[in-house]
Structure 1
Amino acid sequence: MLISNASYSRHLSNFLSLQRRTFRSSRCCWGEVVPFKLSDIGEGISEVNIKEWHVKPGDKVNQFDSICEVQSDKASVTITSRYDGIIRKLYHEVDDICKVGSPLVDIEVDGDGSSSSDDDQVQDQEAQSETGHVDHSALNLPPAQAPGLASKVLTTPAVRRLAMEHNINLADVPATGKDGRLLKEDVLRFLEQKSAAPSAAAAAAQVKPHAEMAQSAVKAPLPVPPPLPRAPIATPAVRVAQQDRKELVKGIQKAMAKTMAKSLSIPHFGYCDEVNVTRLVELRPVLKAMAETYGIRLSYMPFFIKALSVSLFEYPILNSHVDENVEHITYKGAHNIGVAMDTANGLIVPNVKNVESKNILEVAADLNRLMDLGASGQLSTNDLAGATIVLSNIGTVGGTYAKPVIVQPTVCIGAIGKIQLLPRFDASENLIKAHIMQVSWSADHRVIDGATMSRFSNLWKSYLETPATMLMHLK
């Protein structure tokens, strides 16, 4: 039987269309391997270091499960999955550099239509245009019948990791967040209850009645301990020169190298003074006890930060940003005071936001949060961005004086030394004991002059030497 060219073309087109639909259906059923790419995590970050993998090929993952932890030049970020599926390939080793937009892993997504990739969306659109309708019945399942959702716990990757570190099943922890979300506080409370519940039976089994102990003490003579052997004379270990080794400059260390190279192009000038903090030392124990009732650790740093904020109202140019060409000075409205922290990953400078609208307890609570996150490497880019002036407490590592380097685009940084008990003369020329702290300022000499820096420092100093004067400015 002969078929015309037009008829043959029409039959061939219908056949290929059918094959194409059948092929896509097969991919959906067996699972499609999609590349999971590193998304833009903001703050102009173009590349990250792979710090730790939380998965390996063959692992089953669900949406919001942790894939890996990456280290940018600003913060450590946990990357979570957008798919339900199986890990098929890791594109990088630990310490490798991954560019934004490049793939991290390949995931074979579940074949139940749960993948949210662009390719799946295109297929759904094409299927709708070919069939003329979409079956919505599968989308309207009640929560109890929705596949894969009954065993999920709604929480963040940081909370999942905390639970994993303590071998806690998230399903065992009562959730108190909105819509059943499991909060970090829930896990910490669960840990506290778990550790604070000693076994009464075990404790009772270990304690004998006094009479029984007395009888056993009479019947059983005390054993004579054998003579102890003489300890050998310790000899110092021989130190052998190690071979040279080369390390890649990465993460926070790489960011610090870039920042310091730019910052040292700023013409710095220094100003130093000493502060008599005797009254503050006497006041803090009283306020510290009150802060502990709220679960807040109160160090001296919140007082230094709040006094700095109060002083900035009189000298707003110290709370400004300047562009590289020194064409514009931006007077910042918020007092976001950066605090230099020494962590296992290197030097970082998170900041306490909006200090001008907070009291000392609120500043202390924010500072505690930043210190805890910094110690665990969990600071966000928001915590690290936006500082308007910086304080560095070198006293925590035993320092007295420093020559701090300005962090662009801020124009001032202060280094606070350790508090020492030193002899001083009072107003009546009597020799007294005084708690003395040194402060070393660095300022951008392009926009800050020495007289302004001196007056600003004297005002800040007066609030610390007479803490009661800060009461007028507390909110």
Structure 2
Amino acid sequence: MNVISHVIKMPDLGEGIAEVELVAWHVKPGDMVAEDQILADVMTDKATVEIPSHVAGRVEALGGEVGQTMAVGSELIRIASTDGAAAPPERAKASALPAPPVAQLQVPSPPSAPLQSPLPLPVPTPKRAEAPASVRPPEPLPVPQRRPIASPALRERAWSLGVDLTHVPGTGPAGRIMQRDLDEFIARHGAPGRPASAPLAPAAAEPPPVRARVAVGGDVTEQIKFVGLRRKIAQRMQEAKRRIPHFSYVEELDVTELEALRERLNARHGAARGKLTLLPFLVRAMVVALHDFPDLNARFDDEAGVLTRHAAVHLGIATQTEAGLMVPVLRDAQAHDLWGNASEITRLAEAARSGRVVRDELSGSTITITSLGKLGGIVTTPVINMPEVAIVGVNRIIEKPVIRSGAVVPRLTMNLSSSFDHRVVDGMQAAAFVQRLRELLETPGLLFAE
């Protein structure tokens, strides 16, 4: 029995990515691995990607250590397999070939390169086998989806079956396509070379999201190596503070009327539309205020010296997760009502915390809002989400005595702590913007008067 040594290289993840960080190994030398088993997690600028094995065998050597930056095309792992365990020659050859061309679309990477949010995969067109008379004809295909979300193992399986995932409805979080969804699709519609209702090969298990932390403990001290998202956060924060001359502006707001409105809306519509938090009102206030301050809804390329204003408000929502701070993007906040924005904020936060957020949902924000909720303190100095030029920080609401018309009355107050890029935003401009937010939030009827 011959032993074949297979070298699995770091795949091309698309979008011009030249190198990635190795954040976790799921195997070690000497382990036996199955085909489609997840070998390692790597991190791009925006997301963690799982790398599967396209062969079964024994791990001979690992090509890098956790925390190491690896170039696309470099050796990731070496696996030895016997004749019986190796991938079939036809499949290995197919995996090495580029995808067939598709009109007006960039050709995607081969199925062995796991993409977090790829373009729809083209469908191979082998000659369809004649279906037996006892097999029912396939049903019409569902309406195509723009960006199917699926694991690398599922994508490879769909490719091998000739199934275009843009037609497969997903029932997982954020519309993620699960193995059961692919099975049901094939049972109902068939696949090239496989009629509807034909038996299916066993599906690979859905790999769970994995987070990695490397710690070397001693008797007295502990050393924790920054890898993955934690290291990306550290790099981005350092770069933002190094390159952007921050200044902060803090103002106190009386949110008594706003809280009263929120409670009335929840009492009347909460059961049918969902409960509103304070955040959708803040989003609405920013949308209205930014109409008069276009320089703040912008991204600044300091190398080119170009400020790009945006008509649409793509609002970054700073979200704390177990892995660290992430900023999913609420797109086109100006196009939705309070409940629409509230629903999308909840979906994005849940996707980020569960590890299901996709790369496209973590990029393209034009301004960011950050809140620590009840832990918000009195004043914060938020760091700008580069290359944006402004960030609005929300502090906690407190009840305190306030003098109104000569009488001491209890009022609900809250501070807004906002930071600005002084290269782009002058102090007067920042102050005027925050005062506009104050006016809108203290007189909430103005939020809907424009």
Normalised-by-shorter TM-score class: 0.5 to 0.7
Q: Give the corresponding residue for 1:293.
A: 272
Q: Give the corresponding residue for 1:149.
A: none
Q: Output one character per residue of 1:226-279: Cα deviation in whole Å (capped at 9) or x when no partner.
A: xxxxxxxxxxxxxxx952333322222222222222222322222110111112
Q: Give the corresponding residue for 2:56.
A: 86
Q: Give the corresponding residue for 2:297.
A: 319
Counterpart code for 2:331: K
The Cα of 1:436 is off from its aligned counterpart by: 0.5
Distance 1:412 1:424 in 2: 30
Q: Give the corresponding residue for 1:60.
A: 34
Q: Give the corresponding residue for 1:450.
A: 427
Distance 1:39 1:454 in 2: 46
Residue of structure 2 aligned with 1:48, choices 5, 21, 24: 21
Identity %: 24
Q: Give the corresponding residue for 2:375.
A: 397
Query: What does 1:194-273 align with in structure 2 at a 5 Å threshold?
Result: 242-265=219-242, 266-273=244-251
The Cα of 1:419 is off from its aligned counterpart by: 0.6
Q: Give the corresponding residue for 1:350.
A: 328
Distance 2:78 2:331 in 1: 39
The Cα of 1:35 is off from its aligned counterpart by: 2.3
Contact kept? 1:391, 1:414, Cα under 8 Å:
yes
Query: Residues 59 and 443 from structure 1, CA distance in 2 versus in 1: closer, same or farther, beyond 3 angstroms?
Result: same
Distance 2:390 2:232 in 1: 20
Counterpart code for 1:86: A
Residue of structure 2 aligned with 1:367, choices 340, 345, 348: 345
Distance 1:144 1:435 in 2: 73
For structure 1, list consecutive stretches of 5 or more residues without a partner in the other structure.
1-25, 122-135, 146-153, 161-176, 190-240
Counterpart code for 1:38: P
Please tell me whether residue 184 in structure 1 is matched to residue 210 in structure 2: no
Distance 1:35 1:157 in 2: 18
Distance 2:125 2:261 in 1: 67
Distance 1:370 1:309 in 2: 19
When the two structures are aligned, how many residues end up with a matched partner? Answer: 351
Distance 2:58 2:127 in 1: 28
Contact kept? 2:253, 2:415, Cα under 8 Å:
yes
Query: Residues 43 and 306 from structure 1, CA distance in 2 versus in 1: closer, same or farther, beyond 3 angstroms?
Result: farther
Three-state SS of the structure 2 residue aligned to 1:456 is helix
Q: Give the corresponding residue for 1:407.
A: 385
Contact kept? 1:403, 1:442, Cα under 8 Å:
yes
Q: Give the corresponding residue for 1:200.
A: none
Q: Output one character per residue of 1:182-217: Cα deviation in whole Å (capped at 9) or x when no partner.
A: 42169999xxxxxxxxxxxxxxxxxxxxxxxxxxxx
Distance 1:33 1:87 in 2: 9
Counterpart code for 1:156: A
Greater CA radius of gyration, 1 or 2?
1
Residue of structure 2 aligned with 1:335, choices 310, 313, 316: 313
Distance 2:64 2:337 in 1: 46
Contact kept? 2:52, 2:153, Cα under 8 Å:
no
Three-state SS of the structure 2 residue aligned to 1:115 is helix
Query: Residues 359 and 142 from structure 1, CA distance in 2 versus in 1: closer, same or farther, beyond 3 angstroms?
Result: farther
Q: Output one character per residue of 1:317-364: Cα deviation in whole Å (capped at 9) or x when no partner.
A: 111122224722211232111122222112222221111212221211
Counterpart code for 1:451: M
Three-state SS of the structure 2 residue aligned to 1:61 is coil
The Cα of 1:371 is off from its aligned counterpart by: 1.0
Distance 1:438 1:260 in 2: 23
Q: Aligned-pair RMSD on alpha carbons?
A: 3.9
Query: Residues 280 and 45 from structure 1, CA distance in 2 versus in 1: closer, same or farther, beyond 3 angstroms?
Result: farther
Contact kept? 1:50, 1:92, Cα under 8 Å:
no
Please tell me whether residue 95 in structure 1 is matched to residue 66 in structure 2: yes
Distance 1:54 1:293 in 2: 48
Query: Residues 472 and 92 from structure 1, CA distance in 2 versus in 1: closer, same or farther, beyond 3 angstroms?
Result: farther
Query: Residues 106 and 334 from structure 1, CA distance in 2 versus in 1: closer, same or farther, beyond 3 angstroms?
Result: farther
Counterpart code for 2:305: E
Query: Residues 262 and 325 from structure 1, CA distance in 2 versus in 1: closer, same or farther, beyond 3 angstroms?
Result: same
Q: Give the corresponding residue for 2:140.
A: none
Q: Output one character per residue of 1:34-89: Cα deviation in whole Å (capped at 9) or x when no partner.
A: 62533225375621233353899544335xx75543334532333456x5x42543
Three-state SS of the structure 2 residue aligned to 1:338 is strand
Distance 2:259 2:433 in 1: 22
The Cα of 1:157 is off from its aligned counterpart by: 2.2
TM-score (norm 2): 0.67
Counterpart code for 1:60: A
Q: Output one character per residue of 1:361-413: Cα deviation in whole Å (capped at 9) or x when no partner.
A: 12112211221122123322222211211111133424221112222211111
Three-state SS of the structure 2 residue aligned to 1:141 is coil
Q: Give the corresponding residue for 2:288.
A: 310
Distance 1:407 1:364 in 2: 22
Q: Give the corresponding residue for 2:47.
A: 75
Three-state SS of the structure 2 residue aligned to 1:247 is strand
Distance 1:180 1:362 in 2: 26
Contact kept? 1:272, 1:440, Cα under 8 Å:
yes
Counterpart code for 1:91: L
Three-state SS of the structure 2 residue aligned to 1:440 is strand
